Amino acid sequence: MSKILIIEDETDIADLEKDYLELSDFEVVVCNTGLTGLQRAQSESFDLIVLDLMLPELDGFEVCRQIRQSQNIPIIMVSAKKDDIDKIHGLGLGADDYMTKPFSPSELVARVKAHLSRYERLVGSGVVKSENDTVEIRGLRIDKTARRVFIEGEEKIFTTKEFDLLTFLAENPNHVFTKEELFREIWDMESIGDIATVTVHIKKIREKIEKDNSKPDYIETIWGVGYRFKV
Ligand code: CA
């Protein structure tokens, strides 16, 4: 049985989420502050975390950042403000998904299930490995546990999807992927968007890691086909 941690200070919302998840056979633990939630996440093993953003003691941003230093389990962040979603993206905290309140509990359950099965698939394929798992290629270092990227030792801030795309390419070097394949791989649970999204993300990644975009060291364009990570 999968074990879910809900970190939410509004007890009626927490209770509703808990009820729905328990009806779907999940084991659920609720913490009402950021600090107790973080302590619980660090001392017990969970399969997924539902994390509210505005929390007493320690906010959701900080809780997410600290959990990501040691764990790569799925984290779904929830917020009452749409603006916060942009902030979550911008900070590259490594949250896997975001939901804006109010949302239907059944949608939460659907997303929890989707993230758990995706994560299990990644673990099964060996893509997700142990703690402090890093990928290093020449001057590029990807710290998968903390979800941080460094070029020649200097940290570059990545959004969740940029990070996922770069990591996927770097872990499958010398393989040419079409935009369609990359879109399916990285955006597989989202219904909106198209392959142009891939082009935009590749461009943003290159701005962060390449010295010269016309002669990329890492991500090469294979004209008419797609992209390849060079080794
Ligand atoms: Ca709250």
pLDDT digits (tens, 9 = 90+) for 167-215: 999 988 888 999 988 988 888 665 466 788 899 999 999 999 999 888 8
Residue 127: pLDDT band with limits 50, 70, 90: low
Distance from the CA of 175 to the center of ligand 1, in angstroms? 44
Outline where DSSP puts E strands in 84-207: 97-100, 134-137, 140-143, 148-151, 154-156, 176-178
Distance from the CA of 10 to the center of ligand 1, in angstroms? 6
Distance from the CA of 3 to the center of ligand 1, in angstroms? 22
Distance from the CA of 115 to the center of ligand 1, in angstroms? 22
| Mean pLDDT on 13-32 | 96
Percent of the chain with pLDDT over 90: 53
Residue 128 DSSP symbol: S
Distance from the CA of 224 to the center of ligand 1, in angstroms? 48
pTM, rounded to two decimals? 0.57
Distance from the CA of 149 to the center of ligand 1, in angstroms? 30
Question: How far is it, in rounded angstroms, from Cα 155 to Cα 143?
Answer: 11
Collapsed DSSP state (helix, strand, coil) of residue 80: coil
Distance from the CA of 13 to the center of ligand 1, in angstroms? 9
Residue 22: pLDDT band with limits 50, 70, 90: very high
Q: Is the pLDDT of residue 230 over 50?
A: yes
Question: How far is it, in rounded angstroms, from Cα 181 to Cα 228?
Answer: 12
Cβ atoms 35, 52 nearer than 8 A:
no
Cβ atoms 194, 183 nearer than 8 A:
yes
| Mean pLDDT on 34-49 | 94
How many other C-beta atoms can be found within 10 angstroms of the C-beta atom of residue 102?
9
Distance from the CA of 76 to the center of ligand 1, in angstroms? 14
Distance from the CA of 85 to the center of ligand 1, in angstroms? 14
Q: Is the pLDDT of residue 132 over 70?
A: no
Question: How far is it, in rounded angstroms, from Cα 22 to Cα 156?
Answer: 40
Residue 125: pLDDT band with limits 50, 70, 90: low
Question: How far is it, in rounded angstroms, from Cα 79 to Cα 101?
Answer: 6
Distance from the CA of 55 to the center of ligand 1, in angstroms? 5
